[in-house]
Amino acid sequence: MAQFLMFVYALILINISLFFVEATELNIPCVAVDDCPKVEKPLNMWCMHQYCVYGFIKPYK
């Protein structure tokens, strides 16, 4: 039973790490902020250097 739980735990950690790697590879080209996808409220989306960037606070240009 303990080996099974460790196996499930390892699978969860691998899936979470793959999600974070994929989440950091956001390369959506844009010309203006309107080209970026809409996101839920704590996050904001900006168009910087012709790519969409998201974060909690407005980054400096």
- Return the pLDDT at 60: 60
Identify the pLDDT of residue 31.
Answer: 92
Provide φ and ψ at 59, rounded to 5°: -75, 155
Domain that holds residue 16: 2-55
Residue 40: helix, strand or coil by DSSP? Answer: coil
> Is residue 61, in this structure, part of any structural domain at all?
no
26 found inside a domain: yes
Query: Which residues does residue 54 pair with via DSSP β-bridges, in sequence order?
Result: 45
Domain assignment present for residue 15? The answer is yes
Determine the pLDDT at residue 10: 87
Q: Confirm whether 10 is domain-assigned.
A: yes
Count of the separate structural domains present in the chain: 1
Determine the pLDDT at residue 42.
76
Residue 12 maps to a domain: yes
Q: Is 18 helix (H, G, I), strand (E, B) or coil?
A: helix
pLDDT (0 to 100) of residue 20 = 63
pLDDT in tens, 1-56: 889 999 998 888 877 766 665 555 568 899 998 888 887 777 788 888 898 887 77
CA distance 37 to 53: 10
Token couple for 46 = 């900006």
Please report whether residue 14 resides in a domain. Answer: yes
* Residue 60 forms part of a structural domain: no
Contact 15, 7 (CB under 8 A): no
Confidence at residue 16, expressed as pLDDT on a 0 to 100 scale: 72
Residue 49 domain flag: yes
